[in-house]
Amino acid sequence: MGAVAHDNEVLLLGLLRQQSQHGYQINDFIERNLSRMASLKKATAYALLERLREAGHISAVTVQEGNRPPRQVYTITPSGQERFATLLRHNLSTHAAAPAGGDIGLMFLDQLPRQEAVACLSERLESLQQQLREYEAVPTHGPAFGVDLAVQRMIVSLRAEAEWLASTVAALASSPD
Amino acid sequence: MGAVAHDNEVLLLGLLRQQSQHGYQINDFIERNLSRMASLKKATAYALLERLREAGHISAVTVQEGNRPPRQVYTITPSGQERFATLLRHNLSTHAAAPAGGDIGLMFLDQLPRQEAVACLSERLESLQQQLREYEAVPTHGPAFGVDLAVQRMIVSLRAEAEWLASTVAALASSPD
DNA sequence: GGGCGCATGTAATGAGTTACATGATTGA
DNA sequence: TCAATCATGTAACTCATTACATGCGCCC
Q: What confidence score (pLDDT) does residue B139 get? A: 86
Q: What confidence score (pLDDT) does residue B95 get? A: 82
Strand D closer than 7 Å to the CB of B50?
Answer: yes
**In this structure, are residues B51 and B74 in contact, taking their beta carbons and an 8 Å threshold?**
no
Distance B177 CA to C18 C1' (A): 43
Determine the Cα–Cα distance for residues B130 and A119; give it in Å rounded to an integer.
Answer: 35
Min mean pLDDT across A6-20, A143-157, B137-151, B159-173 is at B137-151
Q: What confidence score (pLDDT) does residue A61 get? A: 97
With the CA atoms of A37, A42, A47 and A53 taken in that order, what torsion angle do they form, in degrees rounded to the nearest 10? 70
Nearest CA to A150 out of B109, B115, B20 is that of B109
Residues in chain B: 177
Judged by a CB distance cut-off of 8 A, whether residue B14 touches chain A is yes
Q: Which residue has the higher pLDDT, A139 or A29?
A: A29
Q: What confidence score (pLDDT) does residue A1 get? A: 47
Judged by a CB distance cut-off of 8 A, whether residue B102 touches chain A is yes
Q: Which residues pair with A21 in a beta bridge?
A: A74
| Strand ranges in B17-96 using DSSP code E only, listed in sequence order | 21-22, 58-63, 71-76
**In this structure, are residues B6 and A101 in contact, taking their beta carbons and an 8 Å threshold?**
no
Residue A77 backbone zone (phi > 0: left; psi -120 to 50: alpha; other: beta)? beta
Determine the Cα–Cα distance for residues A72 and A60; give it in Å rounded to an integer.
Answer: 6
**In this structure, are residues A127 and B85 in contact, taking their beta carbons and an 8 Å threshold?**
no
Segment A166-170 shows an average pLDDT of 97
Q: How confident is the model at residue B117 (pLDDT cuts 50, 70, 90)?
A: very high
Segments in chain A forming alpha helices (H) = 7-18, 23-33, 42-54, 78-93, 103-107, 114-137, 146-173
The mean pLDDT of chain B is 91
Min mean pLDDT across A59-73, B34-48, B134-148 is at B134-148
Q: Which nucleotides of C are covered by protein (CB under 7 A)?
A: 6-11, 14-20, 23-26
Q: Look at residue B143 and give its three-state secondary structure.
A: coil
Segment A141-160 shows an average pLDDT of 87
Strand D closer than 7 Å to the CB of A51?
Answer: yes
Question: Mutation test of the interface with chain A: which of B104, B131, B134, B175, choosing the one with the most A Cβ atoms within 10 A?
Answer: B104
Q: What confidence score (pLDDT) does residue B2 get? A: 47
Residue B126 CB-half CA count within 13 A: 6
Asked if pLDDT for residue B3 goes beyond 50, the answer is no
Nearest CA to A104 out of B38, B21, B13, B76 is that of B38
Q: What confidence score (pLDDT) does residue A96 get? A: 74
Judged by a CB distance cut-off of 8 A, whether residue B168 touches chain A is yes
Percent of chain B with pLDDT over 90: 80
The mean pLDDT of chain A is 91
| Strand ranges in chain B using DSSP code E only, listed in sequence order | 21-22, 58-63, 71-76
Q: What confidence score (pLDDT) does residue B4 get? A: 63
Q: What confidence score (pLDDT) does residue A5 get? A: 79
Asked if pLDDT for residue B163 goes beyond 70, the answer is yes
